Amino acid sequence: MEPILIILCVVVGGLLASLGAHLLPVGGAPAAMGTATGIATGTVQIMLGAAMTGLFTAASAATFTDSLLLVALSGAIGATVMICVVMLMANILYTFGCGIVPVSGRVDVDPLTKEPQAPYKTPQTDGHGVPNVVYVSGMLGGFVGGFGGALMYFALLNYADFTAGTAAIGALSIFVPNAIIAAYNIRGTIEGFHDPKFKRLPFAMVTSLVVSLLCGILVVIASYLTVGGTM
């Protein structure tokens, strides 16, 4: 039981979860109609889906390594693989299923590839599909979010002496409020780091810090109450 380490890991994990959710290209319901750029679902849902995939791999890795960094990186890569496949397949579906070209609605020129965006956009929409800059932002979001989730899992498993199942549920329970805070901050849709809404990030980070700190203290109390790793 190492209270400082537990709180530190939970706070860092929570902040990373919130940051990751801001980086993901969330299109929400409008994206399902090709009316907005990004992945056609809510912030919490896609972040949770990615983090859960990462957590599955991280839990496997934690059975045969004691390294915090390796377990957290396993989770990060797991989440990144998940989000990358989803974004690629969404593009294939938009293109071949609906005849829609991936285009960003927030910038006129792709900041990374310098491809023009505005001429390809359907009028009265906010972009559609997952263009290259959005894809890169999504990759970073998946990596950061997955890293945060796996970090919390490792702290709960090894520092708070929870069993694997309880540590997973605990990490998930701290992850969700942080993703929800990000969702409130995003208010609907966001394309990634190039989106003007990304500038609101500091507000979410402060809130996440407070929430994660409280969660960390709660984990320490729970760990004290169940000394011996019975939880």
Partner 1 sequence: MGLIVVLLFAWMLVIAFLAFLACTFEDLESDMGSQSNPNSQVQLAAQIGQVNRFFNKAISGEPLSNAMYCATAGTIAWLLLLKLEPLVPGEEWKAAVLAIPIGVAVAAAINIIFSMTAHCGRTAAQKRFEQPIYLDVLYGHLLPIATHAFMTTFFITCIAYIQCNLGTLSGNPALNHPFALPLLGFIWGITVGAIGSSTGDVHYGAEREFQDRPFGEGKRVVYHGKITRYAECGVRTQRDIAGFCAKFGGPITGMTFGLIILFENWRSLVGMQLGGYLPNLAASAGNSAVTWAIVMGLIIVIALAVVNYVFVRWVRKKCGPFVGV
Select from 10, 16, 80, 151 the one that contacts partner 1 (CB under 8 A).
Answer: 80
Residue 113 as a binder of partner 1 (CB under 8 A): the answer is: yes
13 vs 135 by CB, closer to partner 1: 135
Residue 56 as a binder of partner 1 (CB under 8 A): the answer is: yes
Residue 92 as a binder of partner 1 (CB under 8 A): the answer is: yes
- Select from 36-44, 187-195, 207-215, 217-225 the region that touches partner 1 (CB under 8 A): 36-44
| Minimum CB distance to partner 1, residue 84 (Å) | 4
Question: By CB under 8 A, what part of segment 153-182 binds partner 1?
Answer: 164-165, 168-169
Residue 199 as a binder of partner 1 (CB under 8 A): the answer is: no
Residue 15 as a binder of partner 1 (CB under 8 A): the answer is: no
Question: By CB under 8 A, what part of segment 135-154 binds partner 1?
Answer: 135-136, 139
- Select from 8-16, 114-122, 188-196, 219-227 the region that touches partner 1 (CB under 8 A): 114-122
Residue 84 as a binder of partner 1 (CB under 8 A): the answer is: yes
Alpha-carbon distance values, 156 to 8, 18, 80 (Å): 11, 19, 22
CA contacts within 13 A on the Cβ side of 106? 21
